[in-house]
Structure 1
Amino acid sequence: MIARRRPAGEIFRRVFGYLRRYPWFGVGTMLCAILTTLAGLAFPKLIQVMIDDVIVACRADLLGWVAGGLLAACFARDFFNFLRIQLNNRFEQRVIFDMRCDLYAKLQRLAVHYFDQRATGDLMTRVIDDVNAVERVLIDGIEQGTVALLTLAGVGTMMLVYDVKLTLWALLPLPVLVAGALVFTVTAHNRYRRVREATSALNALLHDNLQGIRQIKAFGREPHEAARFSAKAGQLRRAMLRVMGAWSVYSPAMEFAAWLGCVIVFWQGGRAVLAGEMTVGVLVGFVSYLFAFYGPIRQLHGLNQMFQAGRAAGERVFDILDAEIEPGQGESPDSARPAVAPCPMKELPARVAGKVEFRQVSFAYRPNVPVLREVNLVAEPGETVALVGPTGAGKSTIANLLPRFYEVTTGQILVDGHDIRAVTLESLRRQIGIVSQEPFLFNGTIRENILYGRLEATEAEMIAAATAANCHEFIARLPEGYDAKVGERGVKLSVGEKQRISIARALLKDPPILILDEATASVDTATEKLIQEALDRLMAHRTSFVIAHRLSTVRNADQILVLQAGRIVERGTHEELMELSGLYAHLCRVQSTALTIEQQLAELTSRAPA
């Protein structure tokens, strides 16, 4: 996803907003920078005194004083520089901590559709690499740039005090330096943007590759994936070469211009010394100031290169910080619009009864491509509503709309008579538990994953939930028990084990409304039986929406809704729908003839006499 181009002034303004949070660190850093610069200004003057008043004049009595002055100036410069570095390190780390935490907090408040449009690797690059680039360049660079400007001002003043005419000769290359910096600034930004985008694309591919490593190996696609990675890495290499190519011209050219000024000063100053118009000590002192003058200029050119990289990274960071949050995050959807007065959102009761209504609900993921069309349904508290239909009929979309992962295009969804768009997301989602087809476990322990349902639950409550979910027995057999690591996305557990842990998590949450999305898919018959028993306990006395391809799991539902092309085409109990001989009856007949050998054997075994 390409970041919106922003003016450099906007990036600086946003970064300064973070810097202003810690004014004393900023003031202290600048004060130490000034004192460091002032101490450094003493060196050329003391060198001049050493040459003219000590060596040339043979004043041995002044030698100790001048050497002591040089030592004192060196100590003062390095001491204040030490303090500056210490303060600046703490300053920038506090700022970058705030920026990264703000970025992460913002990601947590963005709508699901935001993540649908962006690669995970790209977002990770923005939170980690791009924020580091902003810190390294814009924050550290601002401090270094300020020190360089202070040094330029102080050294330039001393050069004018020494010799105005020689100072003008020294500044002769300055227009070339300024023009070169402007040309580089104007042309470099797009090159650095391409580097950040290529880095992000490479990280996204790598993340996707590592997530799908089993599929890559199963299909023997290692050479294919290596070629894809090589292509993305090649794009990054070419982008970096364009950046380095421009810098390889810019940097030596600016260095040559700076040394040209030094040569001019040596020429004019040497003539003045030979003519007796200037002492050797004054020339050496002036040249020392000149070197100190061009040093910060070189540093500013280097910082200009760094700033272009930081500006490109800052655009990507602030793109996330400026993204629109989910409606219902404590404010109304219209609160972002200046013309509309903010409208406070309501809180649902601590525990709702569980009545759910869809009134003329239509929805489209993309404009003019409707997925749901005028859906109407009522689920009374404690009822089980089964959603069935062919793939793409809209079953999962209904499940996504209830917790407001997406906003309805038209119509209303009500919970206990409250329009869910008028209540806070926190109070709405507190009422809903979700068990999905592909259960997600965090890379931690089994205990941590179950307690995710209710962090303050006791040990006894956790074990009771695990027992009800038919997973306590297999957990108890593990050497580490509940403290066993599950691996990334629960890779150390089977699908059935992960599913039962996710059911235990939902049981611990104890919500009045449940969404079960293909919860018994992709497991064998024996595991399905364990999961179904756990689901039966979970669904008891709760309003449940069940999405299942295995129609045997929805036979006992209070009402079955049959969807086709985004519309509810049939509704009723299993018996009522079978009598209709419509789509539901057809699906049942198709599925009854598609039993696997394992399922047929299991059914025969269950009917065999003991």
Structure 2
Amino acid sequence: MIEPFRGPLADDRMDADGEYSELAEKHVSLRRIAALFRPYAGRLALVLGLIVFSSIAGVASPFLLRAIIDQALPARDLGLLAILAGGLIAIAVVATVVGVVQVAMTSKIGQWIMHDLRVRVYGHLQSLSLGFFTTARTGEVQSRIASDIGGLQALVTHSASELTRNISMVVVTIAAMLALEWRLALFSFLVLPLAIWISHYVGRLREELTYEQQQRIADMASAVQESLSVSGIILARTMGRTAHLTRKFIRSSENVAALEVRSHTAGQWQWAIIGLVLQALPALTLLLGGLLMNPGAGGVTIGTLVAMIALQEQLLWPLEEVLESGVEMRTTRALFARIFDYLDRPVEIREREDAVTPDPATTRGAVCLRDVGFAYDKDGPRTIDGVSIDIPAGSHTAIVGATGSGKTTLGYLLARLYDVDTGSITYDGVDVRALSFRALSDMLGVVAQDPYLFNATIADNLRFAQPEASDDALIVAARAAQIHEMIVALPEGYDTMVGERGYRFSGGEKQRLALARTILRNPRVLLLDEATSALDPATERAMADALDILGKTRTTITIAHRLSTVRHADQIIVMQRGRVVERGTHAVLMGLGGVYAGLVHSTD
């Protein structure tokens, strides 16, 4: 199954290796990883103390064993034998208790660290500008939060403490072996350079493979998220492309499987060599011990030889664990690279330390744009260029223009989803960049053309805007948005589940639910971005009446393509190629016979 994909994977890996090396070098350092553990330094110090105590207690066993063989058994001293045997049992009990406590503590610390990291990544992503999310794949974002951080679980809950414990055991055991018989100890250490080199080699291979594997998993997650959404299912079935998407997913899954196999088998022969040498070491030590065993001074006793073999066993298994942990930690470096890559994305929209929060009771809702300029690509042409608009408090301003004229981008700037490159946007005389995020969200309510609804009840979706809103408040907002009668006609009323992205409702119903949600917050400025585009003529007229009533107490900015919705606006701003080319009332603009009149005639 995997064989057909060796070629493409090999080609892709050449690109992935270069990308990964650059990414890891830029974002990952030992100091940065250690910083994740710093808040729990006290608890980690206690764990380290338990590990060292357990290691020291563990190396006492071979010395007790030597005393049993060389002293208690030859002398038939049952009392000494009982004491020494009891010591062995006591060491085992202590090691067991310490091990249980250590595992419990490291598991808790590890989960706290993972929780902190997940929250940091999620919070940082929430602070990024809209530009990041227009290019990032949702499945990729989900993969980095769930799969990549989840892949670190073994490191923070098990591997780190096991590595520390095994290193402590190796160091203490090496000291004990040198103290027991230095010649046999040095002979045993000959395997170390080879084992360390192989571990480094295998770790580097698996690190690169892990990065590529996580990339493929993210690709697969994105494919699942896109193709198995409601929109994806509708598109695939109406286009007759379900079989194509299934084949595409099979290829993606096979690539992941191929990388999984390569990751687990990389360096397998090298590890086999280490295993062979480690298995042969006790036999070679017995042979050397036999040569050094003589009745004269400095000879190796049977007890010493047996104790040395025991210490070897006590050295070799933690040494092997250390080497394997080193490989595992090298692979987790690839996960850290992907996670830190997100954390290092610059936050373009920031709240100032001295941000202004005006008193809601005194806000009027006057909006002013002065010589606003903006470009998505800072090296490219401007999407908005030199736009100046005065929007008095309580007035209704419509922004119209052909597709690509920049009107939706202007809405993004008003909501501070992007910051202007030049000029300024002010609310009641305060620059939008000087307002606190909370003040801006309280002042400005936005209803988009494609409103987003959570897969929750209607009431929960409405209360997303005002969590403490009463049932009566929900009804008032729903009536204002001309949606209450439809809601109460449902069997479960306001407790009806809306389904994923609200697909249980029509486009017009979703728009009215989104409008009700915004009305519930009672903002002073209402920004409607094609918010009535999905309404039938009768509902549109009812919505227009509702908005007229709402507009008497707030400022309304309508971004519209359907010009029938803006004929009665106090002023109409006509945009073309990012500039304001006309402004005035419907009657004035029609009298000019210019761009606006042409748009009206083209839509009639």
| TM-score of the aligned structures, taking structure 2 as reference length | 0.90
Cα offset, 1:14, TM superposition:
2.3
1:365 aligns with 2:376: yes
Given the alignment, which residue of 572, 575, 585 partners 1:563? Answer: 575
Q: Which runs of 5 or more residues in structure 1 are unaligned?
A: 332-343, 593-610
The match for 1:317 is 339
Secondary structure at the aligned position of 2:497 is classed as coil
Alignment of 1:138-177 (within 5 A): 138=156, 140-177=158-195
The match for 1:290 is 312
Q: Which runs of 5 or more residues in structure 2 are unaligned?
A: 1-15
CA contact (8 A) 1:392 1:565 kept: yes
1:498 aligns with 2:510: yes
* Distance in 2 between residues matched to 1:241 and 1:289, nearest whole Å: 35
* Distance in 2 between residues matched to 1:53 and 1:251, nearest whole Å: 40
Counterpart of 1:510, as a letter, is N
CA contact (8 A) 2:447 2:531 kept: yes
The match for 1:256 is 276
Cα offset, 1:394, TM superposition:
0.8
The match for 1:266 is 286
Counterpart of 1:290, as a letter, is Q
Deviates more, 1:525-534 or 1:504-513: 525-534
* Distance in 2 between residues matched to 1:84 and 1:44, nearest whole Å: 24
Secondary structure at the aligned position of 2:313 is classed as helix
Counterpart of 2:339, as a letter, is V
* Distance in 1 between residues matched to 2:123 and 2:249, nearest whole Å: 31
Secondary structure at the aligned position of 1:114 is classed as helix
* Distance in 2 between residues matched to 1:444 and 1:274, nearest whole Å: 83
Counterpart of 2:403, as a letter, is T
Cα offset, 1:392, TM superposition:
1.0
CA contact (8 A) 1:172 1:261 kept: no
Given the alignment, which residue of 431, 443, 460 partners 1:431? Answer: 443
Alignment of 1:143-292 (within 5 A): 143-211=161-229, 212-273=232-293, 277-292=299-314
* Distance in 2 between residues matched to 1:536 and 1:442, nearest whole Å: 28
Cα offset, 1:20, TM superposition:
2.0
1:123 aligns with 2:141: yes
Counterpart of 1:357, as a letter, is C
Cα offset, 1:583, TM superposition:
2.3
1:483 aligns with 2:503: no
* Distance in 2 between residues matched to 1:530 and 1:228, nearest whole Å: 47
* Distance in 2 between residues matched to 1:251 and 1:330, nearest whole Å: 55
The match for 1:472 is 484
Cα offset, 1:518, TM superposition:
1.0
CA contact (8 A) 1:328 1:345 kept: no
CA contact (8 A) 2:572 2:585 kept: yes
**Compared CA separation, residues 279 and 410, structure 1 to 2 (3 A):** same
Q: Deviations over 1:328-368 (max 9, x none)?
A: 3234xxxxxxxxxxxx3333443531121222222211121
Count of matched residue positions in the alignment of Structure 1 and Structure 2 = 580
* Distance in 1 between residues matched to 2:544 and 2:324, nearest whole Å: 65
* Distance in 2 between residues matched to 1:10 and 1:396, nearest whole Å: 39
Alignment of 1:566-581 (within 5 A): 566-581=578-593
Cα offset, 1:520, TM superposition:
1.5
The match for 1:605 is none
CA contact (8 A) 2:204 2:330 kept: no
The match for 1:354 is 365
Counterpart of 2:100, as a letter, is F
Secondary structure at the aligned position of 2:152 is classed as helix
The match for 1:604 is none
Counterpart of 2:270, as a letter, is Y
Cα offset, 1:461, TM superposition:
1.8
Counterpart of 2:286, as a letter, is F
Counterpart of 1:346, as a letter, is V
Alignment of 1:302-341 (within 5 A): 302-331=324-353
Given the alignment, which residue of 383, 389, 395 partners 1:377? Answer: 389
Q: Deviations over 1:483-531 (max 9, x none)?
A: 2222222223332222222111111111111111111223433443444
**Compared CA separation, residues 492 and 67, structure 1 to 2 (3 A):** farther
Given the alignment, which residue of 122, 132, 144 partners 1:104? Answer: 122
Cα offset, 1:10, TM superposition:
4.7
* Distance in 1 between residues matched to 2:283 and 2:166, nearest whole Å: 23
CA contact (8 A) 1:499 1:531 kept: no
* Distance in 2 between residues matched to 1:498 and 1:158, nearest whole Å: 74
CA contact (8 A) 1:36 1:78 kept: no
Counterpart of 1:360, as a letter, is D
**Compared CA separation, residues 442 and 379, structure 1 to 2 (3 A):** same
Secondary structure at the aligned position of 1:346 is classed as coil
Counterpart of 2:417, as a letter, is F
Cα offset, 1:185, TM superposition:
4.0
Q: Deviations over 1:229-260 (max 9, x none)?
A: 23333433343343233232332233234334
CA contact (8 A) 1:138 1:310 kept: no
Counterpart of 2:55, as a letter, is T
